[in-house]
Protein backbone atom coordinates (compact mmCIF):
# COMPACT_ATOMS: atom_id res chain seq x y z
CA UNK A 1 0.00 0.00 0.00
CA UNK A 2 1.38 3.41 -0.90
CA UNK A 3 1.47 6.28 1.53
CA UNK A 4 -0.64 9.14 0.18
CA UNK A 5 1.19 12.02 -1.39
CA UNK A 6 1.36 14.74 1.23
CA UNK A 7 2.96 17.84 -0.22
CA UNK A 8 1.76 18.48 -3.55
CA UNK A 9 3.70 15.41 -8.80
CA UNK A 10 8.88 0.68 -24.10
CA UNK A 11 6.83 3.19 -26.27
CA UNK A 12 6.44 6.70 -24.97
CA UNK A 13 3.29 8.75 -25.07
CA UNK A 14 2.96 12.47 -24.43
CA UNK A 15 0.29 13.92 -22.15
CA UNK A 16 -1.53 16.60 -24.06
CA UNK A 17 -4.22 17.56 -21.53
CA UNK A 18 -7.18 19.75 -22.27
CA UNK A 19 -6.83 21.72 -25.53
CA UNK A 20 -8.07 24.94 -23.90
CA UNK A 21 -5.58 24.78 -21.00
CA UNK A 22 -1.97 25.56 -21.81
CA UNK A 23 0.14 23.63 -19.37
CA UNK A 24 3.45 25.01 -18.14
CA UNK A 25 5.23 21.63 -18.41
CA UNK A 26 5.46 18.93 -21.03
CA UNK A 27 5.74 15.54 -19.36
CA UNK A 28 6.37 12.46 -21.47
CA UNK A 29 5.74 9.13 -19.79
CA UNK A 30 5.97 5.46 -20.76
CA UNK A 31 2.62 3.88 -21.65
CA UNK A 32 2.28 2.27 -18.20
CA UNK A 33 2.21 5.69 -16.48
CA UNK A 34 -0.69 8.14 -16.33
CA UNK A 35 -0.40 11.95 -16.04
CA UNK A 36 -3.11 14.25 -14.72
CA UNK A 37 -2.93 18.03 -14.74
CA UNK A 38 -5.25 19.60 -12.17
CA UNK A 39 -4.40 23.20 -11.30
CA UNK A 40 -5.48 24.10 -7.77
CA UNK A 41 -6.39 27.73 -7.08
CA UNK A 42 -4.40 28.78 -10.15
CA UNK A 43 -1.30 26.82 -9.09
CA UNK A 44 -0.12 24.16 -11.58
CA UNK A 45 -0.31 20.63 -10.14
CA UNK A 46 0.62 17.35 -11.82
CA UNK A 47 -0.06 13.81 -10.59
CA UNK A 48 1.72 10.91 -12.23
CA UNK A 49 0.92 7.32 -11.33
CA UNK A 50 2.16 3.94 -12.45
CA UNK A 51 -0.44 1.35 -13.39
CA UNK A 52 1.05 -1.10 -10.85
CA UNK A 53 0.25 1.37 -8.01
CA UNK A 54 3.89 1.01 -6.90
CA UNK A 55 4.86 4.60 -7.74
CA UNK A 56 3.26 8.04 -7.62
CA UNK A 57 4.76 11.44 -8.41
CA UNK A 58 3.33 14.84 -7.50
CA UNK A 59 4.74 18.07 -8.95
CA UNK A 60 3.75 21.67 -8.29
CA UNK A 61 5.24 25.05 -9.09
CA UNK A 62 7.14 27.00 -6.49
CA UNK A 63 5.61 30.25 -5.27
CA UNK A 64 9.12 31.69 -4.97
CA UNK A 65 11.24 33.24 -7.74
CA UNK A 66 13.54 30.88 -9.62
CA UNK A 67 16.81 30.58 -7.75
CA UNK A 68 18.76 27.41 -8.48
CA UNK A 69 21.32 28.31 -5.81
CA UNK A 70 18.57 27.97 -3.16
CA UNK A 71 17.69 24.37 -4.14
CA UNK A 72 19.96 22.63 -1.58
CA UNK A 73 18.69 24.77 1.31
CA UNK A 74 15.03 24.44 0.28
CA UNK A 75 15.38 20.69 -0.21
CA UNK A 76 16.94 20.34 3.24
CA UNK A 77 14.03 22.28 4.77
CA UNK A 78 11.52 20.06 2.95
CA UNK A 79 13.23 16.87 4.12
CA UNK A 80 13.39 18.02 7.74
CA UNK A 81 9.60 18.50 7.71
CA UNK A 82 9.20 14.84 6.81
CA UNK A 83 11.63 13.38 9.34
CA UNK A 84 9.81 11.94 12.33
CA UNK A 85 10.97 11.93 15.96
CA UNK A 86 10.23 8.20 16.32
CA UNK A 87 12.37 7.38 13.27
CA UNK A 88 9.55 5.86 11.21
CA UNK A 89 10.67 8.08 8.31
CA UNK A 90 14.38 8.81 8.11
CA UNK A 91 17.43 9.04 5.88
CA UNK A 92 19.04 5.70 5.07
CA UNK A 93 22.31 7.26 6.19
CA UNK A 94 22.38 10.31 8.53
CA UNK A 95 25.18 11.82 6.39
CA UNK A 96 23.21 11.41 3.16
CA UNK A 97 23.88 14.10 0.58
CA UNK A 98 21.31 15.16 -2.01
CA UNK A 99 21.41 13.45 -5.38
CA UNK A 100 21.66 15.48 -8.57
CA UNK A 101 19.00 15.68 -11.26
CA UNK A 102 20.47 16.74 -14.59
CA UNK A 103 17.52 16.83 -16.93
CA UNK A 104 17.08 17.79 -20.54
CA UNK A 105 16.06 21.36 -19.61
CA UNK A 106 15.42 21.37 -15.84
CA UNK A 107 17.95 20.41 -13.21
CA UNK A 108 18.02 20.20 -9.45
CA UNK A 109 18.40 17.82 -6.53
CA UNK A 110 16.61 15.07 -4.63
CA UNK A 111 16.75 13.27 -1.27
CA UNK A 112 15.33 9.86 -0.43
CA UNK A 113 13.66 9.06 2.89
CA UNK A 114 12.91 5.54 4.11
CA UNK A 115 9.92 4.23 6.04
CA UNK A 116 10.90 1.93 8.90
CA UNK A 117 10.21 -1.73 8.10
CA UNK A 118 8.68 -0.93 4.70
CA UNK A 119 9.73 -1.29 1.06
CA UNK A 120 8.16 2.11 0.37
CA UNK A 121 10.34 5.22 0.06
CA UNK A 122 9.61 8.93 -0.13
CA UNK A 123 11.78 10.97 -2.52
CA UNK A 124 11.61 14.76 -2.42
CA UNK A 125 12.94 16.80 -5.31
CA UNK A 126 13.25 20.32 -6.65
CA UNK A 127 14.02 21.10 -10.29
CA UNK A 128 14.11 24.33 -12.20
CA UNK A 129 15.73 26.67 -14.64
CA UNK A 130 16.23 30.43 -14.70
CA UNK A 131 12.48 31.06 -15.05
CA UNK A 132 10.70 28.63 -12.73
CA UNK A 133 11.13 26.14 -9.91
CA UNK A 134 9.14 22.94 -9.37
CA UNK A 135 8.73 21.02 -6.13
CA UNK A 136 7.81 17.36 -6.14
CA UNK A 137 7.75 14.09 -4.37
CA UNK A 138 7.67 10.44 -5.21
CA UNK A 139 6.13 7.69 -3.09
CA UNK A 140 6.75 4.09 -4.05
CA UNK A 141 9.32 1.33 -4.21
CA UNK A 142 13.07 1.84 -4.69
CA UNK A 143 12.85 0.10 -8.05
CA UNK A 144 10.06 2.39 -9.24
CA UNK A 145 12.03 5.46 -8.08
CA UNK A 146 14.59 4.79 -10.84
CA UNK A 147 11.82 4.85 -13.45
CA UNK A 148 10.30 7.97 -11.90
CA UNK A 149 13.67 9.73 -11.95
CA UNK A 150 13.98 8.99 -15.69
CA UNK A 151 10.61 10.70 -16.23
CA UNK A 152 11.59 13.71 -14.09
CA UNK A 153 14.80 14.19 -16.08
CA UNK A 154 12.77 14.49 -19.31
CA UNK A 155 10.32 17.14 -18.08
CA UNK A 156 10.41 20.31 -20.15
CA UNK A 157 8.84 23.71 -19.81
CA UNK A 158 6.14 24.15 -22.45
CA UNK A 159 7.22 26.81 -24.97
Q: Which domain holds residue 55?
A: 12-157
Please, which residues have CB within 8 angstroms of residue 116's CB and are 6 or more apart in sequence? 87, 88, 89, 90
Residue 1 has a pLDDT of: 38
Residue 80 has a pLDDT of: 84
Residue 3 belongs to some domain of the structure: no
Residue 51 belongs to some domain of the structure: yes
Residue 86 has a pLDDT of: 73
Residue 2 belongs to some domain of the structure: no
Residue 5 belongs to some domain of the structure: no
Q: What 3-state DSSP class applies to 155?
A: coil
- What is the chain's mean pLDDT, rounded? 83
Residue 133 belongs to some domain of the structure: yes
Residue 68 belongs to some domain of the structure: yes
Residue 150 belongs to some domain of the structure: yes
Closest CA to 29 of 51, 56, 48, 47: 48
Residue 20 has a pLDDT of: 54
CATH code, domain carrying 84: 3.40.1000.10
Residue 7 belongs to some domain of the structure: no
- Convert the pLDDT of each residue in 3-32 to its tens digit: 333 333 322 233 444 445 689 999 999 999
Total number of domains constituting the chain:
1
Class of residue 8 by CB neighbours under 10 A (exposed 0-12, middle 13-18, buried 19+):
buried
Start-to-end CA span in the chain (Å):
37
Amino acid sequence: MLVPVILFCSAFSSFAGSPETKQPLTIEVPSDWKVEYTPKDGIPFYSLSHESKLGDIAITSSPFPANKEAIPKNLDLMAKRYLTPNGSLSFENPDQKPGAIEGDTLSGSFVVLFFKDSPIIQALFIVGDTQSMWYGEFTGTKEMWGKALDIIKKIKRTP
